[in-house]
Structure 1
Amino acid sequence: MATASSVNNVLNYPIRGARRFSNYCFAVVVAIGAIGFLLAGLSSYFHINLLPFSEPLQLEFLPQGLALTFYGIAGTLLDIYLWVIITLDLGGGFNEFNLNSGKVKIFRWGYPGKNRHLDFEYPIADVLAVKVEIKNGLNPKRALYLRVKGKGNIPLTEVGQPMALSKLEDRAAELAKFLGIPLEGL
């Protein structure tokens, strides 16, 4: 979990993006599976065993080999997409609360192009409250929002695994106290 750093009236929270251990593991597993399917399908087409630990030569190319080749190509494309997302670190960035400049800055990395840098700045005077949203159950949600005048709720937490309840409460209380604004939702 990211930690906050506070220096001279500046509070900064780094936000972890797509460069997570779970994403690396998932991309490696998808790559291994996709290569296996692709090699099995191609083995059945060319009648050459490209997988030394199995016997794909016993497969008929139509329909099994063709299906395996299709799944191998689809898996390879998915894996390329996952590695691009990891390389670009989509969703990564920081939240900065600067009392010296009177600004809140929220920065995230996006897809290449016009919106590669998602950079939002709001005056601290426009920040109305820190809002905590907690939803338990099958799909739990623990999120922290900044309620900004005229902008609605701006998300401050990372996407992915929900933050521990105690850490969420501590961060919300610290942020509300630092900005001198009310805390909602607890």
Structure 2
Amino acid sequence: MQGNPHAAALEAVLMVVDEPVSAAELAATLELPQPEVEELLSGLAAEYMAEGRGFELRSVAGGWRFYSRPEFAEIVSRYVLEGQTARLTQAALETLAVIAYRQPVARSRVAAIRGVNVDSVVRTLVTRGLIEEVGTDPESGAILYQTTSYFLERLGIGSVSELPQISPHLPGLEDLAGIELEQ
């Protein structure tokens, strides 16, 4: 298979799929006959297995896709669980930004600023090690959160003072400091 431009094109397409793709779809994409694509897929799968690669090409759920080999499951799992590849949702990014710029801050204050409940998002950020509890608000007794050194490391900065300044030209920011919760 090495050196075969059709096999290389097939690999390129398979690298970007996030769910199994049928041989028929791949054939249509590559503008090749389906039997030829099926032969290429079987050949690539056999080649990867023979070479002992860290991944394999499998036919699953009516389609083809790359998977990590089962003997590396523990290593891959450890990598994923440490958050190395997991991306934050928009809600998590917004919540993290509020905490980063307003820290230490109570979850209820973050919810008031965002206008939505942030309980599960805060739990996710704590689990990922991006924020941590730093005490309680003396008036309300609410738990206060701040960013962690891991957060700074991931952003490549030394302290929160190095965060970019929020632009004074964004609408409504002048009211941000005045947002208070009703007690």
The TM-score bracket by the shorter chain reads under 0.3
Q: Which has the higher helix share?
A: 2
Higher relative contact order (CA 8 A, sep 6+): 1
Instruction: State the TM-score, normalizing by the size of structure 2.
Output: 0.27
